[in-house]
Structure 1
């Protein structure tokens, strides 16, 4: 039921100067930090299996088929979780969806810890995947809705930073527990940040945009008063939200997708952006870094282990580039630079593998190309794709649109993880990485033709441009 004061009316098409320069209140940073814990868990779940699998194979005498199911089951669960997260987030709210994700992480980790066989472990991985799917949908969405537009890109990039920190933490944890060959402890540590996320999420507010969409306008205004520095900023943003709600009063979710061709454009763009992120080849590097380094001439378990940790550390540090630049340089210039760097490094790595890493110079050149590729991804497509997907969907269809794009991310992730070893063995490393170089070069053209620049533009302005039929690349103007 709507609050006593009812909805507000929009009074301005552009943010007044006082709003644009209002201070960021501490509650915004607290909300962002706690939501970003979901990113930490996301990353740890991605990274844990690489270290745990050799010991699981030894304990359970896994067949190749069961090994593949245990690895890929997380991605299947994540796709299901992401596709169902839209309805969960829309009905329960972003905050409760984060709480549900934390509970799934805790239960999934504990099932893996006490698993007595591969089937039970597979079930635990499915539960962890469901948690990742819900978290990867909800956290960027929540961050986009509670932060002011001038720092929205930075805060969503911070979520991606936490994903990279989680991957690195899992690599380090794997290395530590490998000395006692305890894959159960590798999974057990996932429960620690999950518990922190659960109790932390209890203290953050609901999304004001979700509250307003539920006709709870007084509550939405109260939340905004805790998240914004001035009453002018609160009233301006309430006006923006209400205008968006009024323009879509009879459309939402799948009905909006069926009936509104402009909304279909934003959904398809979100799906395309997430597939672009996956087909850059980043997960190929993260999942198969040891094999790639061995193909480049580095032999031995110790060398592969340290190379993987260095790769994870590079991923973390390079994400700070995106955090520093995303709300200054804008989205598209950073994407251009990232895709160019990824295309160039994959081309050089392809050449190294083609001629054979027979000298020390070529070996270190191959390693340097892998690390520079990681830099290119972590500063661009890694955080920026999540940011854009959270920005381009209209309010009433946001749950459906982001659910579709996040589901596409995990389907693409599964395809890359499944087909890469087949390609690597079938056509060789040189051709495989040459193909990745060509694909990343094509993504530069895709960015030019279809991706909007959304720096400093409110979600409601982006929505108005989209629904007015402007070209996708112009909806941020």
Structure 2
């Protein structure tokens, strides 16, 4: 346990700067210290411990590489989430030799049910597994969770009935719900402040790579291989086994380094295992941090309700309107854009900060939705121009989401939520997210049908829905401008130290864990 240093003046200056940066716009103008401290407490960015020593010099690039390896291994769970969620959409492409519809004639309603069961399973997991990481340890939670992915993949791959597909999809959904309750938190806590945003963003990057992988593998398996949908589902087993495998790391490093790999695995295991709390966090404890719950809940609400799933779902249809009828090409182009821009976002999140990326990305989404809606509504006279504009707008929308609401929200949530309530709070956030996604999945088709008019009611309905979503995105921009904190400055103000509570009087072991994992 480490006490506070004697130099309180430096600490007060650091805390004042952090407080000012985190206040909503205008809230600090003429405000009292009491009001600033109230916001700081409610936003759950605790006062900083002033730096007691300069950062170590001559930090080893190999040790930094070990941190990235650890983050990559953890993020395999996020890859499985993205892959498992998107794989069915590729498997049910009509008129393809390897389509699931060749072997199991699912109706439209049954296809929607199979798609929705992943979200339902994730919602069940989010509601019931909020404290599992605190009690089992994050290492065991992630490793056990692989069993849900393996079971779901095998059940789907061997399915001979619609019921089996439904059961397999539900298992995959449970795995996805556990991922959202553990991976962003874990990545945040094993990473040093200087690159915390970058490491936490591995979650979103891996998720987008998983989605892209379904399109790439699906192009070959669904179009060329009979019963290719079975192989496409079975591939989900590979990352699950890899995450469980010591042999995989030995192979990557070489047999001569097996002892080093064992030591590394112990370090990584320690990083994943360290957070166990005897104190049970209940709703009263969460209520004490109502401001962070309110900000976090609305961020995930806007993440889901600004239309990313709707645009992704109908991207192939929009590409078809533009004369590009190959659904795999549409999936690949959109997925590649998502991955590429997420990589760019990761490289900027620690240098430029969270708020600028969040605000810029949301503004791009608004502009793209307006252009997309207008192109579908008013450019019927020139189909080629309309198609080019519509496709460009889709890609800009996906890019804007990847820069802002996609990657940054996870970083902000993990940064601003106190350590002792993170698991429970993330369960609350993700329950909200999955409920919103279920609403989007259930009502999108009905909304398009209700809004559509004219000779092509589907296109007209999509255009009007995107116009409405641009209004939701505008509300998101206003909320983020007023209330989303810039959590990057918390580490800067502390001279590179952790949040108080991580390395202060309530040290939970993160400092030792990080030294063991990285020695950065």
Length-normalised TM-score, structure 1:
0.82
Q: Tell me by how many angstroms 1:214 deviates.
A: 4.0
Pair 1:310-2:333 in alignment: yes
Select which of 399, 407, 414 maps to 2:438: 414
Q: Tell me by how many angstroms 1:16 deviates.
A: 4.1
Distance of aligned partners of 1:355 and 1:118 in 2 relative to their CA distance in 1, 3 Å threshold: same
1:8-31 CA-to-partner distances (Å, cap 9, x unmatched) read 434472234623878373432222
Pair 1:131-2:170 in alignment: no
Pair 1:430-2:470 in alignment: no
Equivalence for 1:149: 193
Q: Tell me by how many angstroms 1:203 deviates.
A: 5.2
Aligned residues: 418
**Aligned mates of 1:22, 1:129 — CA distance in 2:** 44
Equivalence for 1:320: 343
Equivalence for 1:235: none
Select which of 266, 274, 277 maps to 1:211: 274
Equivalence for 2:482: 449
Q: Tell me by how many angstroms 1:328 deviates.
A: 0.7
Partners of 2:364 and 2:396 within 8 A in 1? yes
Equivalence for 1:41: 80
Partners of 1:38 and 1:136 within 8 A in 2? no
Select which of 313, 322, 338 maps to 1:297: 322
Matches within 5 A, 1:35-434: 35-54=74-93, 55-178=99-222, 179-181=224-226, 182-199=228-245, 205-206=268-269, 211=274, 213-214=276-277, 252-258=281-287, 260=288, 263-294=289-320, 296-298=321-323, 300=325, 302=326, 304-357=327-380, 358-427=382-451, 428-434=461-467
Q: Tell me by how many angstroms 1:430 deviates.
A: 1.8
**Aligned mates of 1:407, 1:207 — CA distance in 2:** 29
Q: Secondary structure at the match of 1:15?
A: coil
Q: Which runs of 5+ in 2 are unaligned?
A: 6-10, 12-48, 94-98, 250-264, 452-460, 492-497, 504-520
Length-normalised TM-score, structure 2:
0.76
Equivalence for 2:51: 15
Q: Tell me by how many angstroms 1:461 deviates.
A: 4.7
Distance of aligned partners of 1:406 and 1:199 in 2 relative to their CA distance in 1, 3 Å threshold: farther
| Structure with larger Rg | 2
Q: Tell me by how many angstroms 1:204 deviates.
A: 5.3
1:124-164 CA-to-partner distances (Å, cap 9, x unmatched) read 10000001111122111100111111211001112211111
**Aligned mates of 1:463, 1:416 — CA distance in 2:** 38
Instruction: Please state which structure has a larger fraction of its residues in helix.
Output: 1
**Aligned mates of 1:117, 1:183 — CA distance in 2:** 14
Select which of 481, 495, 499 maps to 1:460: 499
Distance of aligned partners of 1:212 and 1:92 in 2 relative to their CA distance in 1, 3 Å threshold: closer
**Aligned mates of 2:338, 2:230 — CA distance in 1:** 26
Q: Secondary structure at the match of 1:18?
A: coil
**Aligned mates of 1:162, 1:212 — CA distance in 2:** 23
Q: Tell me by how many angstroms 1:340 deviates.
A: 0.6
CA RMSD for the aligned pairs?
2.4
Partners of 2:153 and 2:234 within 8 A in 1? yes
Q: Secondary structure at the match of 1:460?
A: coil
Partners of 2:139 and 2:272 within 8 A in 1? no
Partners of 2:126 and 2:430 within 8 A in 1? yes
**Aligned mates of 2:312, 2:409 — CA distance in 1:** 18
**Aligned mates of 2:235, 2:155 — CA distance in 1:** 13
Distance of aligned partners of 1:339 and 1:365 in 2 relative to their CA distance in 1, 3 Å threshold: same
Partners of 1:93 and 1:207 within 8 A in 2? no
**Aligned mates of 2:182, 2:291 — CA distance in 1:** 21
Select which of 70, 77, 82 maps to 1:31: 70
Q: Secondary structure at the match of 1:19?
A: coil
Distance of aligned partners of 1:324 and 1:21 in 2 relative to their CA distance in 1, 3 Å threshold: farther
Task: Out of 51-60 and 146-155, give the one that drifted further.
Answer: 51-60
Task: Out of 30-39 and 352-361, give the one that drifted further.
Answer: 352-361
